[in-house]
Amino acid sequence: MSNPAKFIDIQGVAQTFKTAKGAFPALKDIDLGIAQGEFVALIGHSGCGKSTLLNLIAGLAAPTSGVLLCANKEIKGPGPERAVVFQNHSLLPWLTCEGNIHLAVERVFGARESKAQLRQRTEAALALVGLAHAAHKRPGEISGGMKQRVGIARALSMEPQVLLMDEPFGALDALTRAKLQDELLDIVARTRSTVIMVTHDVDEAVLLSDKIVMLTNGPGATIGEVLHIDLPRPRERLALAEDARYAHCRKAVIDFLYTRQGHVEKA
């Protein structure tokens, strides 16, 4: 790799959607480099194109112009090396939790490993998110927080180079969200994954990330500011609450979101 700071390299990306009312420019002039092992939060107002940018990195959509590279290769479509944790967990309701994870494990490692090894990987992924006891339950039988954990386990079980998360905790209550954030910090520290997470939540962004990418308001959103969070890890939620640097980072993001990008233009 030529430039370790640009494991994911986004160059001059723009995305325009064709709508009934004509072309809608969602994103323009996006330039961003993300290093391996970095935890990046994408934050911005609703509808500013955070999820669009994530979908571009996932390869679920192709940019109108510009290039996205991952490990020096152009992103041409979705693939298991860039696992996605969807906003609404997207588990298949007819498979058990185990079955949902096994589908991913089988796809990624099925060609190389024995059935016993695949089973072991599935079980390990469930244990990682503390759901070994729910292996044989279907998604309809478990709570929203548990479903989201299975979604995360599915993504992690693929041992992806990049973990893409689209507001993974958005639909959860505050307590469950805090618990899952702590678990995620733990897991990422152990697996050293590169993570890109879309979020609305300022505290979540500051607590989890190494770098917060703030998007301006759409239409034609672009990167307004990049804030580096150099709080030491492991991070403790309680200790950080009184940390001056934490408060400073938090204030910087809030200042950007509410003072400088406070007026949401009417589309």
Partner 1 sequence: MVSAVFHSPRESATPPDTMKKVAASACQESAGGQKNPQKPPRDWAAASRAFWLAVLPPACGLGLLLGLWALVASTTGQSIPGPLQTWAQAVEVFSDPFYRNGPNDQGVGWNVLASLQRVAIGFGLAAAVGIPAGFLIGRFAFLSRMCNPIISLLRPVSPLAWLPIGLLVFKGANPAAIWTIFICSIWPMVINTAVGVQRVPQDYMNVARVLNLSEWKIATTILFPAVLPYLLTGVRLAVGTAWLVIVAAEMLTGGVGIGFWVWDEWNNLNVRNILIAIFVIGGVGLLLELALVQLASAFTYEEVKS
Chosen residue from 45, 89, 177, 250 binding partner 1 by CB under 8 A: 89
Chosen residue from 35, 69, 71, 103 binding partner 1 by CB under 8 A: 103
Q: Counting contacts by CB under 8 A, is residue 258 touching partner 1?
A: no
Q: Counting contacts by CB under 8 A, is residue 78 touching partner 1?
A: yes
Paired strand residues for 211:
40, 228
x/- map, 168-187, partner 1, by CB under 8 A: ---x----------------
Question: What are the b/e assignments for 53-84, b being 16+ CB within 10 Å?
Answer: bbbbbbbebebbebebebeeeebeebeebbbb
Query: Do the beta carbons of residue 211 and residue 38 sit within 8 Å?
Result: yes
Q: Which is nearer to partner 1, 105 or 249 (CB)?
A: 105
Q: Counting contacts by CB under 8 A, is residue 136 touching partner 1?
A: no
Chosen residue from 37, 66, 80, 224 binding partner 1 by CB under 8 A: 80
Count Cβ atoms within 10 A of the Cβ of residue 33 and give its class: 0-12 exposed, 13-18 middle, 19 or more buried. Answer: middle
Q: Counting contacts by CB under 8 A, is residue 83 touching partner 1?
A: yes
DSSP 8-state assignment for residue 90: -
Tallying the residues shown for the chain, one arrives at 267
What is the CB neighbour count within 10 angstroms for residue 236? Answer: 12
Q: Counting contacts by CB under 8 A, is residue 95 touching partner 1?
A: yes
- The region of 9-17, 24-32, 104-112, 234-242 touching partner 1 under the rule CB under 8 A is 104-112
**Least distance (Å) from partner 1 to the CB of residue 80?**
6
- Helical residues (DSSP H) of 143-198, grouped into ranges: 144-157, 174-191
- Contact footprint for partner 1 (CB under 8 A): 58, 60, 77-80, 82-84, 86, 88-95, 103-104, 107-108, 138-140, 144, 147, 158, 171
